Amino acid sequence: MYEKYMIVPERAKKNEKGFEIGARLPYYRGVSLSMVEEIEVSLDGETLPQSDVVITVHGNSYNLEQRENELDDRWEMGEVATLSVAKESDLKAGEHTIGLKINLRIGYMPFPSIRVAEKTVVIG
Protein backbone atom coordinates (compact mmCIF):
# COMPACT_ATOMS: atom_id res chain seq x y z
CA MET A 1 0.00 0.00 0.00
CA TYR A 2 2.88 2.35 -0.65
CA GLU A 3 0.47 4.24 -2.92
CA LYS A 4 -1.06 5.88 0.14
CA TYR A 5 2.00 7.97 0.88
CA MET A 6 3.26 8.54 -2.68
CA ILE A 7 1.72 11.97 -3.14
CA VAL A 8 2.44 14.44 -0.35
CA PRO A 9 -0.32 17.06 -0.71
CA GLU A 10 1.11 19.54 1.81
CA ARG A 11 4.06 20.07 -0.48
CA ALA A 12 2.00 21.03 -3.54
CA LYS A 13 2.40 24.60 -4.78
CA LYS A 14 2.86 26.80 -7.82
CA ASN A 15 6.41 27.65 -8.80
CA GLU A 16 8.09 29.74 -11.51
CA LYS A 17 8.03 26.86 -14.04
CA GLY A 18 4.56 25.54 -13.33
CA PHE A 19 3.86 23.58 -10.17
CA GLU A 20 5.42 21.10 -7.79
CA ILE A 21 4.31 18.26 -5.54
CA GLY A 22 5.98 16.19 -2.85
CA ALA A 23 6.44 12.48 -3.52
CA ARG A 24 7.61 9.42 -1.64
CA LEU A 25 9.14 6.37 -3.25
CA PRO A 26 6.69 3.44 -3.37
CA TYR A 27 9.17 0.79 -2.26
CA TYR A 28 10.56 -0.76 0.90
CA ARG A 29 14.00 0.81 0.49
CA GLY A 30 15.82 3.62 -1.27
CA VAL A 31 16.97 3.22 -4.86
CA SER A 32 19.52 4.94 -7.10
CA LEU A 33 17.81 7.54 -9.26
CA SER A 34 18.81 5.64 -12.40
CA MET A 35 16.46 2.87 -11.28
CA VAL A 36 13.48 5.21 -11.37
CA GLU A 37 12.42 4.29 -14.86
CA GLU A 38 9.36 6.52 -15.12
CA ILE A 39 7.82 9.42 -13.21
CA GLU A 40 4.53 10.30 -14.83
CA VAL A 41 2.50 13.17 -13.42
CA SER A 42 -1.00 14.05 -14.49
CA LEU A 43 -2.93 17.21 -13.71
CA ASP A 44 -6.73 17.09 -13.78
CA GLY A 45 -6.61 14.07 -16.07
CA GLU A 46 -4.00 15.41 -18.46
CA THR A 47 -0.79 13.35 -18.56
CA LEU A 48 2.22 15.64 -18.67
CA PRO A 49 5.42 14.82 -20.57
CA GLN A 50 7.99 13.04 -18.39
CA SER A 51 10.68 15.28 -19.86
CA ASP A 52 8.97 18.20 -18.08
CA VAL A 53 9.50 16.67 -14.64
CA VAL A 54 12.52 17.60 -12.51
CA ILE A 55 13.11 15.63 -9.32
CA THR A 56 14.90 17.10 -6.30
CA VAL A 57 16.20 14.84 -3.53
CA HIS A 58 18.06 16.29 -0.53
CA GLY A 59 18.87 19.46 -2.46
CA ASN A 60 20.05 17.80 -5.70
CA SER A 61 17.94 18.35 -8.83
CA TYR A 62 17.81 16.07 -11.85
CA ASN A 63 16.02 16.37 -15.16
CA LEU A 64 14.96 13.22 -16.99
CA GLU A 65 18.28 12.59 -18.71
CA GLN A 66 20.35 13.36 -15.61
CA ARG A 67 18.13 11.12 -13.50
CA GLU A 68 18.46 8.21 -15.88
CA ASN A 69 22.24 8.37 -15.61
CA GLU A 70 22.57 9.01 -11.88
CA LEU A 71 23.91 5.78 -10.39
CA ASP A 72 25.09 7.03 -7.01
CA ASP A 73 22.63 9.53 -5.62
CA ARG A 74 19.58 7.89 -4.16
CA TRP A 75 15.94 8.60 -3.48
CA GLU A 76 15.87 7.31 0.09
CA MET A 77 12.97 5.44 1.61
CA GLY A 78 10.50 7.81 3.23
CA GLU A 79 12.29 10.83 1.81
CA VAL A 80 9.89 13.40 0.36
CA ALA A 81 11.26 14.36 -3.05
CA THR A 82 10.05 17.44 -4.91
CA LEU A 83 8.67 16.82 -8.38
CA SER A 84 8.66 20.10 -10.26
CA VAL A 85 6.56 20.04 -13.42
CA ALA A 86 6.79 22.61 -16.20
CA LYS A 87 3.35 23.88 -17.18
CA GLU A 88 3.04 26.92 -19.40
CA SER A 89 -0.64 27.80 -19.29
CA ASP A 90 -1.71 29.70 -16.21
CA LEU A 91 -2.68 27.26 -13.59
CA LYS A 92 -5.66 28.30 -11.48
CA ALA A 93 -5.03 28.36 -7.76
CA GLY A 94 -7.20 25.88 -5.86
CA GLU A 95 -8.06 22.20 -5.89
CA HIS A 96 -6.58 19.95 -8.54
CA THR A 97 -6.45 16.22 -9.09
CA ILE A 98 -2.89 14.96 -9.25
CA GLY A 99 -2.04 11.55 -10.63
CA LEU A 100 1.37 9.97 -10.15
CA LYS A 101 2.80 6.83 -11.69
CA ILE A 102 6.21 5.60 -10.59
CA ASN A 103 7.89 2.74 -12.36
CA LEU A 104 11.00 1.22 -10.79
CA ARG A 105 13.51 -1.02 -12.54
CA ILE A 106 14.54 -3.49 -9.85
CA GLY A 107 17.28 -5.83 -11.06
CA TYR A 108 16.08 -8.87 -9.13
CA MET A 109 12.43 -8.58 -10.11
CA PRO A 110 11.31 -10.13 -13.38
CA PHE A 111 8.91 -7.30 -14.19
CA PRO A 112 8.70 -3.54 -13.60
CA SER A 113 7.43 -2.33 -10.23
CA ILE A 114 4.66 0.10 -11.15
CA ARG A 115 2.62 2.02 -8.58
CA VAL A 116 -0.11 4.51 -9.34
CA ALA A 117 -1.66 7.07 -6.97
CA GLU A 118 -4.14 9.89 -7.21
CA LYS A 119 -4.98 12.67 -4.77
CA THR A 120 -6.86 15.93 -4.72
CA VAL A 121 -4.44 18.61 -3.68
CA VAL A 122 -4.64 22.37 -3.21
CA ILE A 123 -2.14 24.17 -5.38
CA GLY A 124 -1.82 27.68 -4.01
> Quick one: 18 or 36, whose CB is closer to other proteins?
36
Question: In the bound complex, what is the minimum distance in angstroms from residue 96's beta carbon to other proteins?
Answer: 23
What residues have CB less than 8 Å from 52, skipping those under 6 apart? 18, 85, 86, 87
Q: What is the DSSP letter of 28?
A: S
Question: In the bound complex, what is the minimum distance in angstroms from residue 18's beta carbon to other proteins?
Answer: 26
Can residue 124 be called a binding residue for other proteins (CB under 8 A)?
Answer: no
Cβ atoms within 10 Å, residue 78? 9
Helix (H) or strand (E) holding 123: strand 113-123
Residues that bind other proteins (CB under 8 A): 1-2, 4-5, 24, 28-32, 34-35, 37, 68-69, 71, 74, 76-78, 80, 105-114, 116
